[in-house]
Each structure stands twice: as C-alpha cells, then as structure tokens.
Structure 1
Amino acid sequence: MRSGRLWFARHRRPILVMLMLLAVWFTVRAAGPASPTMVRVMVASQDLSAGRRLSSGDLEVASWPAGLAPSGRLSADPAGQVLAAPVREGEALTDARLLGPGLLRGLPAGTVAVPVRLTDPGSAALVRAGDHVDVIAGTASTWSADEAGGSSRSSPATIERPARNALVLAVSGHTRAVGGETGGGVGLGAVGGGVTTGDDDALAGLLVLAVQAGEADRLAGAVTGASVSVVVLP
C-alpha cells in the first residue's frame, strides 16, 4: 500500500499532464467539424466531346460532399442524350451540359432554343458555344413558265438575316477526320475547340441558338429551303 502511494507521488505530475492532454484532445475533437454529408454524383469516366450521344459506359457514380455537388446534377442515367459541350474526365455532369431545357438556365424570360442547320456542315467547326451570330438565309433566283399561256416569271435571289446577335448554346456535328475521311476519326472540335468523334450524322452542322420566342417563327420560316450560314460577331 505504501509502495503504491510512493509510486503515485513520484509519477503524479506526468499523470496529471497526460490527463490534461487527453481532456484537450477530446475537447478539440468534439468542437471540430462534423463529417460532411455525401451525395451521389454522375461524373464522366473519360474525356467526352461535344455532340457525343451518351452511353452508360461514359459515366460513373462518385460520392461527393453535398456542399461541393453542383446544382442541376443528373439523378437518372442520361444514356441517349447529346452533350452540348465537352466534359473532362471526372467532371460532374449537369443538365446544362445536355441538349435540352437546361441550356436556357439563367437566360432572360421568353428565350427559346432553336436548332439551325448550316448548309456547309464543316463551317460549324468555326463556331463555339458562347459566340453571338447573325443567321444569313439566302435563296437563289428562280424562273418558272406558265403551263397554260407560255408566259414566264422569275423570282429574284434573296438574302436576309432572320436572327441577329443570337447566342450559340451548342454546336454539334460530324467532323472530317484526319486524312480526309468522315466517320469515327478525330477532327476539328465543335464546341469550345475540343475534339469530337462525329458519332451521329443527324447532328451534322447543327447549331442550337437562343432567340426570343417572337423571333423563332421568323427564323424557322426563313431557313426552310434556304442556304443557311452564320456570321460570328466580335
């Protein structure tokens, strides 16, 4: 008993110091930030090009802190939808990256997205998402004969700008591969100067423009049957 008291007296100071350190450690631990809430986020499993039609293999599910997860993140598999802009490996995919209503987020009320196909699909490679363009619609002069009386009439060539200062939301397209062949080869980029594999001919030369609803009908009518090009504004 006496030896125990002597041992405690001899080691009392280090024991008290150790107990104080433990008390400080528990206090700091209790006051520290709690573990963040994690959420599931769909991210690109590889670099993806603009105009790519997504497949399930293009994406994977990652766990992100809720405070870092972007708004508009996808909750369902977007397989079959088309990318409006390039996406880097590991980047979270949101609705604003897809052709669809998300492209109009943050734009003025009354803005609609209108697809316009350029007559020369290759010129789409010179346009980037975020550019402002004027749409040029041209028709050639025509001549027709009156079947009944032999008279004829001609229609003059026309050039008009059915949309001015339109914001380019997305550029998709089938590009020409290195070596001159079209198909799966890598060519000039569509959106943002990235690369695209041109995986869908239906998207060749297609721009998606943001215009006011009142301008959309005029634009659609003007480009029907016309030669369509754009002027990129400074």
Structure 2
Amino acid sequence: MRRFSSWLNRNRRLVVALLLCAAAGIAVQQLTPAPAHTVTALATARDLAAGTALSGNEVVPVKVPPGMVPSGAVADVSSIQGKQLAAPLRKGQLISDTQLLGPGLLAGTKPGSAAVPLRMADPSSIQLVAPGQLVNIVMTNGTDFGKTAESQVLAAAVPVLWTSGQGGQTGQWLGTGETEGLIVVAADPDQARRLAGSSTQGKLFFVLVGSPG
C-alpha cells in the first residue's frame, strides 16, 4: 500500500491526465448520435430528358433518410426497366411513380379522375403546353363553306399530364404508337365522358388558362 501511495504521489499528473481522457471519451460517446437510419432509393445518374426510357445506366441507388423519400418512390431497378419519364429530371433527383408514364401520373388528383388522351387538330401547338399547366379543351365542329364554325368547351381547367412534345413513345400505356398531336389530361368522370371520342366528332384545340380564382 505504501508503495502504491508513493507511486501515486510521483505520478499524480499522469493519473489526472488519464482520468481526464477517460472522462472526455465517455462524454464524446454519450454525445455522439446513433447512426442515422437510411433506406435505399433510386436517383437519376445524370440529367434526363422527358421521354427517356430508363435502365440501370440512367439511375443509381442512394441511401437517404426515410423522411426524404417521397410516396411512390422506386427502389428496384427492375421495376422501372424500359419505362419512360413523363417530365425531365435533374441529376440526383429521386424517382417516383408520378414521374413515369402510366397510372402514377394521376397521383394527387381527385378520386375517380381518369387520364384521357386527346389528339389536337394542330400538332404544332403541343410545343406550347407542358405537364402541370391547366387548359380548356375546345371542340370546333366543321360546317359548310361560308358558315361560322361552332365551338364548345368540353372540359375547363383540366391539368395536362403528358404531351407528345416531350418525346418518347407511349407504348402499351396509351395503346398506340402514333403520338403526334397527343396530350393527356386528368379529367373527372363527367369531363371524361364528354371528352371520350370527341376527336372523331370535331377538331380539338386547347386554351391555356390560369388556376381558378
């Protein structure tokens, strides 16, 4: 015991330093947060244009906190193989079903809404509209020469979901490979009923409108 006391007296500073180091280590351990929980999601590997057919070359898996993952996010490359983007994406953006051609485009719309494809009489006008914009769909009936054409609004302030101006092919989703002049709008049941087959009854045009006041 006397030897230990003598050693302690000679090495008092060393002992104090060791105790301080131990205390600091315990404090750091207590203050260090636990490793954050993450989940895997798919993000774009580079800037991608609308209409791009996705494969493993266009996406990369990333680890992100669960709170940053949007509803409908994609985590498996095989589930999006060959599917096309409905809108352009920047490098690093997480991919979800709302960004792909298909039923996911209707996410957030009113219950019962339908995605209605329409062929415009003037295909070049498609370049003036983009997904998310609101349009009135107007049908003009052809008349005899010298008589004024009659027009009627079939659907007012419907959101555009997709346009052929974005490029790519619609494939099986729309059941046709002829996309020139096509736009797809979200319509409620009454609007969808009026729009169905309207392109065979007259010429269709769209009018850009603002949000209802």
TM (norm. structure 2) is 0.79
Q: Is the 8 A contact 1:51 1:171 kept in 2?
A: no
Residue 164 (structure 1) shift:
0.9
Match of 1:131 in 2: 133
Residue 137 (structure 1) shift:
1.9
The one of 160, 172, 176 aligned to 1:168? 160
Match of 2:195 in 1: 219
Residue 142 (structure 1) shift:
5.6
Specify whether residues 60 and 205 from structure 1 end up closer, same or farther in structure 2 by C-alpha distance, changes over 3 A only.
Answer: farther
Alignment of 1:1-234 (within 5 A): 6-76=6-76, 77=78, 78-141=80-143, 157-173=149-165, 190=166, 198-200=167-169, 202-224=178-200, 226-234=202-210
Counterpart-to-counterpart distance in 2, 1:33 and 1:67 = 18
Instruction: List 4+ stretches of structure 1 deviating above 6 A.
Output: 1-4
**Which segments of 5 or more consecutive residues in structure 1 lack a partner in the other structure?**
144-154, 174-189, 191-197
Counterpart-to-counterpart distance in 1, 2:115 and 2:109 = 11
Give CA-to-partner distance per residue, 1:186-234, whole Å, 9 cap, x none: xxxx4xxxxxxx3437433322211111210211232235322200013
Residue 6 (structure 1) shift:
4.5
Specify whether residues 6 and 110 from structure 1 end up closer, same or farther in structure 2 by C-alpha distance, changes over 3 A only.
Answer: same
Instruction: Say how many residue pairs are matched.
Output: 200
Q: Give the secondary structure class of the aligned counterpart of 1:141.
A: coil
Specify whether residues 121 and 14 from structure 1 end up closer, same or farther in structure 2 by C-alpha distance, changes over 3 A only.
Answer: farther
Specify whether residues 31 and 115 from structure 1 end up closer, same or farther in structure 2 by C-alpha distance, changes over 3 A only.
Answer: same
Counterpart-to-counterpart distance in 2, 1:199 and 1:113 = 18
Counterpart-to-counterpart distance in 1, 2:179 and 2:36 = 42
Q: Give the secondary structure class of the aligned counterpart of 2:57.
A: helix
Q: Give the secondary structure class of the aligned counterpart of 1:20.
A: helix
Residue 93 (structure 1) shift:
0.3
Counterpart-to-counterpart distance in 2, 1:213 and 1:65 = 38
Amino acid at match of 1:64: V
Superposition RMSD on alpha carbons, in Å?
Answer: 2.8
Counterpart-to-counterpart distance in 1, 2:102 and 2:178 = 16
Give CA-to-partner distance per residue, 1:79-129, whole Å, 9 cap, x none: 222212111111110011112222222222222221222232321121122
Residue 5 (structure 1) shift:
5.1
Greater shift, 84-93 or 26-35, is seen at 26-35
Specify whether residues 56 and 228 from structure 1 end up closer, same or farther in structure 2 by C-alpha distance, changes over 3 A only.
Answer: farther
Residue 166 (structure 1) shift:
0.7
Amino acid at match of 1:232: L
Match of 1:195 in 2: none
**Which segments of 5 or more consecutive residues in structure 2 lack a partner in the other structure?**
170-176
TM (norm. structure 1) is 0.73
Greater shift, 34-43 or 24-33, is seen at 24-33
Residue 3 (structure 1) shift:
8.0
